[in-house]
Structure 1
Amino acid sequence: MSIGSTIRNQLVDSPTSLAERFRLRRWENLSATYPDLAEMHVIDLGGTVSAWQRAPIRPRRVTVLTFEPEGEQVDGIEARYADACALPAELRDLRADLVYSNAVLEHVGGAERRQRFAETVHSLADRHWIQTPYRYFPIEPHWLFPGFQFLPVAARVAIGRRWKLVHTPTQDAASMTSSVLSVELVGVTELRHLFPQSEVRRERFVALTKSIIAVKT
């Protein structure tokens, strides 16, 4: 394993990483916010079956809507192929107790699709928990590079091709450009615009906002 991979593993990828500690704290906060979570049907927009299998809490039923379904229903968790910004006709009557999404909003592809994502959230349940990394945290969370999100695309591509902490290293300019363009972090103002009836919570690291969550109970 390279030095870059070792550092990244310690920061975000391993079961004992800093990011994993944040994830565990987020599960605790989710459970505290919705004490009846174990009795709920939860729709997860953009998540994975395996993530719910590893989760320390388990709703009664989980439906994962994703571009990458992982097979048949397992332990009350099922995956359905769907674009969360444009639900297929067969899923438009789907309803649940809670819509959950973790670190997906920044990947859906521009302001218009984020608006459509929010409309999907509102259509599927009265309650929601929508988490996304905060645009103005100084370390961009996908590349682990300071201020990466504020640089021109060409600079981000050049850094991404050389930076040792990137998740999926590649020297291919086209692949890295696609990767760079697939992430667009948002701030509190946009999150409040998308979810005007929600409380916006902040996850902090050393007094700085690391992630923001739109919560409706």
Structure 2
Amino acid sequence: MTSDSIADRRHFIAENTVVIAPPHTPELRLHLATEAIELWHKTEEDLGALGLPPPFWAFAWAGGQALARYILDRPELVAGRRVFDFASGSGIVAIAAGMAGATSVTASDIDVFALEAIALNAGLNGVTLETSSSDVIGRLDIEADVVLAGDVCYEQPMAGRVTDWLAALAAGGRQVLIGDPGRSYLPRERLESLAVYEIPVSRALEDAEVKRTSVWRFPGA
């Protein structure tokens, strides 16, 4: 098997996931992996691409579930507005925004497998959205009223770059929300807490069965 075409990538996703509802967003159905470690190895072996990005798209991470839940419960945050979902992964947050009535939704991820997973998952939920593979960190010309980011502070170098950029977008007048399950590199002192959830997670991924997960807002100008 190769990853040369959309059909190949979609076949790989379909063969290695099942369609299920994430525990904290039962309204949604997503292609998700049930065996974390096996898929990590299978991705490298089957595609013959050592060093391929880990399949973050195959899991409903706690930060994304919390942010999606927050949006579904408060559709007025995105209804009639343009939404940009950064590091979209499975697309759970972008899809929630579409279901909540956003005028347009762009799901951004640099992993081409994520883009195909997002497209498949959007179709499962009857949501229309755009996808983008561009590296947008640092860009302040994002065409959106609301910027969303689920669980992006798991690595120190990336967390610093991303949160500086998100803070700049907020200072420019956009509503910027982030979902985070207590990652070490989240700059809590720069954020306003909006909600806290107890999210069921995979012990293989998180070394826990439940993660206390918060939704935060970057203060605007």
**Could you say which structure has the larger radius of gyration?**
1
- Structure 1-normalised TM-score? 0.50
